[in-house]
Chains A and B, each alone.
Chain A
Amino acid sequence: MGSVKFRTYHEVPGEDASGLLDQVFALRQRVQARLGRVNRLVAIASGKGGVGKSHVTALLALELRRLGKSVGVLDADLHGPTIAKLLEARGPLEIDEHEVQPATGREGILVFSTDLLLNDQQPLTWREIEPGGRVPSAECRVPSSENFLFRGPRESNVLRESLADVAWGDLDFLLVDLPPGTDRLEDLASLAPSLSGVLVVTLPTDESRRSVARAMHAAAASGVRLLGIVENMSGYACPTCGTTGPLFQGDAGAILASEFAVPLIAKIPFGRFPFPLSPFPLDQFLELLP
């Protein structure tokens, strides 16, 4: 400090006037209160895009429903939401002063997704809002080139609100379909200490293996339990004769399973969704859950 002497933040004993930390804590408590009625919270993730996380999530949700479990799916892939379409969930969503009702999809699976909020083919874009909800005039807005500064916190808060404010009710399973990468997984682990673990999806290829391995290392470093691997598009299932032929080269699922000492839960062939027969050995999956 310069010539002026004054006490520092920690030396001033009074409460923070805005209570920002208390506010953040209260927001997180809302998440935990909501998830207190969810028995198992499972993330589905990958380090790579286009591996079929959403297909795997939808398939797992349908198989769990087949076992009579109550299931919700939160589509956390804000920029590429597909779960609502896969599970045939439609809006509008009912909302009151306390909560928003999720959409109901195939087999009664509860769904919340930005896909239900956006116009068809409309990308996710953010509106600049003043405190209180008014849109500032164009000349008062932050230049769009600087919007990247707010994108991360906003997307994290969409995840928080989707967990806290959606009326998930009493669920056996809430599956969270995450976007590629590990940022949202870390957010989820931070928001929801009750996270049971993450199911990791890969393609058979070596390129996929490398990306997914990075994500798995990041997940493990964040303290997230690795439940197992699903190798998707593992061969091509002929819709006519039912036989499975080769599609991609590689054995990424088995290699990752060995490297991280987790089970290779399923190898799912490429085919038309949903598959006529379950490729998910659900008993094995359920045994993995803490």
Chain B
Amino acid sequence: MKFLCIDCDQQMRFEERAVPGDGTFAASFRCPTCDRSIALLANPMETQLVESLGVRIGGTTLDTPPLAMVRSSVEGRDDAFVDTAATAGPRAAWSKEAEERLSRVPGFVRGMVKRIYGEYAAERGIAVITPDVMDRARTDLGLEGM
């Protein structure tokens, strides 16, 4: 998929990808010549279609965790997996508010999300994971929607 600025006859550059939280995703592209930017707004069906392919709009490389689709999309048992990475080494505590927020993440993928935040905290010497830490991790790691 390429976006062409017709006036400048230039391919627009991918700038940003966003998940507004209404079942859709958005991506912005900018013309390197005239600086005009446009937004690609995908409807829920288009969003699901892209997700089902296991690829990412705006991402030129993928570093997906194992069984990413299985764990996120299959309605399965919560205890199907034991996250050995999450159970190894010192772990940060979770505040009540952070735990509550984590509980809203689907059970099948919750362990993976918890591990990501846990590693983020461990690498920075953070003792307690709070919603603020989660927000910072989300920004730093590009974890929209988690």
Of A6, A92, A126, A127, which one neighbours B9 at CB under 8 angstroms?
A: A6
**Inside 8 A of A126's CB, which chain B residues have their CB?**
73-75
> For the complex, is A100 an interface residue (Cβ under 8 Å from B)?
yes
> For the complex, is A221 an interface residue (Cβ under 8 Å from B)?
no
> For the complex, is A135 an interface residue (Cβ under 8 Å from B)?
yes
Of residues A22, A116, A125, A127, which shows the largest number of chain B Cβ atoms within 10 Å of its Cβ?
A127
> For the complex, is A68 an interface residue (Cβ under 8 Å from B)?
no
Interface pair A17/B2, CB less than 8 Å apart:
yes
Taken residue by residue from 98 to 139, chain A's Cβ proximity to chain B (1 for < 8 Å, 0 otherwise) reads as 111000000000000010111100101111111111111100
Interface pair A153/B9, CB less than 8 Å apart:
no
User: Given A94-B81, A131-B144, do A141 and B52 touch, yes or no (CB 8 Å)?
Assistant: no
> For the complex, is B139 an interface residue (Cβ under 8 Å from A)?
no
Of A124, A140, A153, which one neighbours B22 at CB under 8 angstroms?
A: A140
> For the complex, is A261 an interface residue (Cβ under 8 Å from B)?
no
> For the complex, is A4 an interface residue (Cβ under 8 Å from B)?
yes
Interface pair B6/A92, CB less than 8 Å apart:
no
> For the complex, is B105 an interface residue (Cβ under 8 Å from A)?
yes
Taken residue by residue from 108 to 142, chain B's Cβ proximity to chain A (1 for < 8 Å, 0 otherwise) reads as 11011101000000000000000000000000000
Interface of B is mostly: loop
Interface pair B76/A157, CB less than 8 Å apart:
no
Interface pair A18/B57, CB less than 8 Å apart:
yes
Interface pair A130/B19, CB less than 8 Å apart:
yes
Q: How far is the CB of B138 from chain A (nearest CB, A)?
A: 9
Interface residues on A, range: 35 or more
Of residues B44, B57, B69, B115, which shows the largest number of chain A Cβ atoms within 10 Å of its Cβ?
B69
Interface residues on B, range: 35 or more
Interface of A is mostly: loop
Q: Which residues in window 88-102 of A have CB below 8 A to B?
A: 91-100
Interface pair B72/A127, CB less than 8 Å apart:
yes
Of B17, B62, B69, B83, which one neighbours A154 at CB under 8 angstroms?
A: B69
> For the complex, is A142 an interface residue (Cβ under 8 Å from B)?
yes
A249 to B65, CA, bound (A): 50
Q: Which residues in window 22-74 of B have CB below 8 A to A?
A: 22-25, 29, 44-45, 47-62, 65-70, 72-74
Q: How far is the CB of A163 from chain B (nearest CB, A)?
A: 11
A15 to B29, CA, bound (A): 14
**Inside 8 A of B85's CB, which chain A residues have their CB?**
95-97
A134 to B110, CA, bound (A): 10
**Inside 8 A of A23's CB, which chain B residues have their CB?**
54-56, 59-62
Interface pair A150/B48, CB less than 8 Å apart:
yes
Of residues A24, A100, A158, which shows the largest number of chain B Cβ atoms within 10 Å of its Cβ?
A100
A181 to B108, CA, bound (A): 29
> Which partner residue on chain A sits nearest B43 by CB separation?
A142
Between-chain CB contacts (< 8 Å), 25 pairs: A6-B6, A12-B11, A14-B2, A23-B62, A92-B79, A92-B81, A93-B82, A95-B66, A125-B75, A127-B108, A129-B109, A130-B23, A130-B145, A132-B144, A133-B112, A133-B146, A136-B23, A137-B23, A140-B44, A141-B44, A150-B51, A154-B52, A158-B74, A160-B54, A162-B70
Which A residues lie at the B interface, using CB under 8 A?
4, 6-7, 9, 12, 14-20, 22-24, 26-27, 91-100, 114, 116-119, 122, 124-137, 140-142, 146, 149-150, 153-154, 157-158, 160-162, 165-166
